[in-house]
Amino acid sequence: MKRSAAFALFLLAGVAVAADAPPSPKDLVSRVAADDKSISWDAFRLGMSVEDLQTVLEKPLTLTPGSEGVATTDRYAANVPYRGVNVHVSFESDDPAAALVFVRVDFPKGAAADPAALTDALKTRVPALEKPDGATSDALILPGTDYHVAVKSDGIYLGAVWLFE
C-alpha cells in the first residue's frame, strides 16, 4: 500500500514537472498561422491594435518608447510573458489604435533550434508563406501583404517587410 501511494505521488510529481516544461521551438513554430491579410503567432496578430492585444491578454500593456530610427523593433515595445515564453511586441505608437508591427517569440534558453528545419516545417504547415525571389534573408513573406516571418536560432520573428531589409 505504501509503495503504491509513493508511486502515485511520484507519477503526479512527474506530471507537474512535465506541465511546467517550456515549449519546444517546434511547438512554438506550430503556433504560426496566416490568412489572406496577416500572419499571427498564437493570439498575437500583426496589424492588431494595442487595445485588441490588451483585451486578448486581459491586462494592460506598458509600452516603452524605444529609439526612433535606430531599433525599429523597439518602438513602443513591451515584453509579454505568455504561455511559458517571452514575447516581445512593438507597435507604431502608444495610441490604443496603433497597429502591432513586430513580434518576436523567444525560444526557451538552452533550446536546440534548427532554423532551416523549422522554416521548412513552417512552410509545409502554412503553404501561403513564400520565399521571395532573390531574397537575401531567411524570411518567408505572405503574398499581397507587407508581412514576413523568419525562424532564427533564438526565436520566431514576425513583422513588416521593412524590418527584415
User: Is 9's pLDDT higher than 50?
Assistant: no
Instruction: With respect to residue 10, please indicate whether it lies within any of the assigned structural domains.
Output: no
Going by pLDDT thresholds of 50, 70 and 90, the confidence category of residue 16 is very low
Average pLDDT in the chain? 85
Instruction: With respect to residue 14, please indicate whether it lies within any of the assigned structural domains.
Output: no
Instruction: With respect to residue 81, please indicate whether it lies within any of the assigned structural domains.
Output: yes
| Burial status of residue 107 (CB atoms within 10 A of its CB: 0-12, 13-18, 19 or more) | buried
Instruction: With respect to residue 113, please indicate whether it lies within any of the assigned structural domains.
Output: yes
Instruction: With respect to residue 2, please indicate whether it lies within any of the assigned structural domains.
Output: no
Instruction: With respect to residue 7, please indicate whether it lies within any of the assigned structural domains.
Output: no
Number of domains in the chain: 1
Going by pLDDT thresholds of 50, 70 and 90, the confidence category of residue 8 is very low
DSSP string across 73-120: GGTTEEEEEETTEEEEEEESSSSTTPBEEEEEEEPPTT----HHHHHH
Instruction: With respect to residue 4, please indicate whether it lies within any of the assigned structural domains.
Output: no
14 or 122: which carries more pLDDT confidence?
122
The pLDDT of residue 115:
94
Q: What range defines the domain where residue 88 resides? A: 23-163
User: Is 149's pLDDT higher than 50?
Assistant: yes
The pLDDT of residue 73:
63
Per-residue pLDDT tens over the stretch 51-87:
999 999 999 999 988 755 555 566 799 999 999 999 9
Going by pLDDT thresholds of 50, 70 and 90, the confidence category of residue 2 is low
Cβ atoms within 10 A of the Cβ of 47, count? 16
Instruction: With respect to residue 147, please indicate whether it lies within any of the assigned structural domains.
Output: yes
Mean per-residue pLDDT for 2-11? 49
Nearest-Å Rg of the Cα atoms of the chain is 19
